[in-house]
Amino acid sequence: MAVAVAHPNVALVKYWGKRPGHGNVPATPSLSITLDGLTTRTRVDAAAENSLEINGERRRDAKVAGLVAALREEFALPAMRVTSCGNFPVGAGLASSASGFAALVTALDETFSLGLPASARAVWARRGSASAARSVFGGFVALDPDVGAATVLDRDEWPLEVVVAVTSDAAKAVSSTEGMTRSRDTSPFYGAWMHSTATDFDDACRAVHRRDFDALAATAEHSCLKLHALMLSTRPGLLYWNAATIDAMRAVRAMRDAGTPVFFTIDAGPQVKAVCLPAAAATVADRLGELAGVKRVMRVGLGAGARLVEG
């Protein structure tokens, strides 16, 4: 048996849409930061029959079953018991599937001595959930559809912080996988999204290498708002925000206008992630925590990639 931990990641240049065909390959490149503090811990044991338990509940999960079936086509794997738990809500826009699949593949690799390097674990994790490829790595991580996932800057080379403003613990109504299929099939903006994302990716990578916070803020907010414009223009429209999401976005913009180095990003859920320089994190957390619709704030740094831990 083996136990692995992994952290969710938040994309600064977003992924939304897949290449046609197999392998769950994103249509566009994305850039993320891996988060510390929020953690999924997954144990894999060889067992008499397959089972999956998430946060103490026995579950069936088509994506986990699909990934294990795909691995079985490549490797001779016995049945296994997978036990996973996380310290944050599942399915609420906090990338629980990203940390979940990164931890699962890392634990499974060790349990069955597959000998996979991180780049190969990322390819397998991507088949479960594309964003999971990024959680295999720490710090600032690029996921290029042609090249794969890799760290572009280590976390201690530019130690940004993230204040997560949780505005709802409810699971999302439309999954990301379903939402992206709908956007591809129905949004008049999908072509523009596909064509403009590579530029955002290049701009953001350059900003990260230069540690240029203002440039990263501009590109990341643009990518986020463009993603949500794509979602809103999907039929039926995908509206992941609530009133507090908008209040938090406005509060972040007001802080930045007043000179605080902070920008927001939002995924397929109502939580707002405020990315800031460490000196600003306390102010940002206090301000967002005061907003009426914000249930709680979590302050996290940048995290390491998926790794084995003692059982």
Q: Which stretch binds ligand 2P0 (CB under 6 A): 48-56, 109-117, 129-137, 249-257?
A: 129-137
Shortest distance in whole angstroms from residue 241 CB to ligand 2P0: 13
Q: Which stretch binds ligand 2P0 (CB under 6 A): 9-17, 48-56, 213-221, 296-304?
A: 9-17
Which part of the chain contacts ligand 2P0 (CB under 6 A), choosing from 51-59, 113-121, 127-135, 186-194? Answer: 127-135
Nearer residue to ligand 2P0 within complex by CB, 177 or 196: 177
Strand, helix or coil at 307?
strand
Compute how many residues bind ligand 2P0; rule: CB under 6 A.
15
* Contact residue for ligand 2P0 among 176, 183, 187, 197 (CB under 6 A): 176
Task: List C-alpha distances in Å: 211 to 73, 200, 253.
Answer: 43, 16, 20
- Please say which residue, 83 or 96, places its beta carbon nearer to ligand 2P0: 96
Nearest to residue 69, comparing CAs of 84, 55, 54, 80? 80
Considering the complex, state which of residue 93 and residue 280 has its C-beta at the smaller distance from ligand 2P0. Answer: 93
Find out whether 196 and 17 touch, Cβ atoms under 8 Å: no
* Residue 97 touching ligand 2P0 (CB under 6 A): yes
In eight-state DSSP terms, residue 279 is G
Q: How far is CA 201 from CA 15, 28, 217, 251, in A?
A: 10, 9, 13, 26
Pattern 201-230, ligand 2P0, x by CB under 6 A: --------------------------x---
**Segment near ligand 2P0 (CB under 6 A); pick from 54-62, 126-134, 153-161, 183-191:** 126-134
User: What are 164's two structure tokens?
Assistant: 């997560």
With contacts defined by CB under 6 A, name the span among 12-20, 76-84, 242-250, 298-306 that binds ligand 2P0.
12-20
136: CB partners within 8 A, 6+ apart? 6, 102, 105, 106, 118, 121, 122, 125, 149, 305, 306
Q: How far is the CB of 24 from ligand 2P0 (least distance, A)?
A: 5
CB count in 10 Å sphere of residue 304: 16
* Nearest distance from C-beta of residue 155 to ligand 2P0, angstroms: 18
Interface with ligand 2P0 in residues 15-74 (CB under 6 A) = 15-16, 24, 30
With CB under 6 A as the contact rule, the residue among 55, 177, 196, 283 that binds ligand 2P0 is: 177
Tell me the C-alpha distance between 287 and 309, whole Å. Answer: 36
Find tokens 């990263």 and name the residue: 216
- The residue type of 218 is A
Is residue 80 within a helix (H) or strand (E), and if so which, with residue range?
strand 80-86
Nearest C-alpha neighbor of 240 from the set 130, 33, 92, 96: 92
Tell the smallest beta-carbon distance from residue 40 to ligand 2P0 (Å).
13
Interface positions with ligand 2P0 (CB under 6 A): 11, 14-16, 24, 30, 97, 129-131, 176-177, 227, 267-268
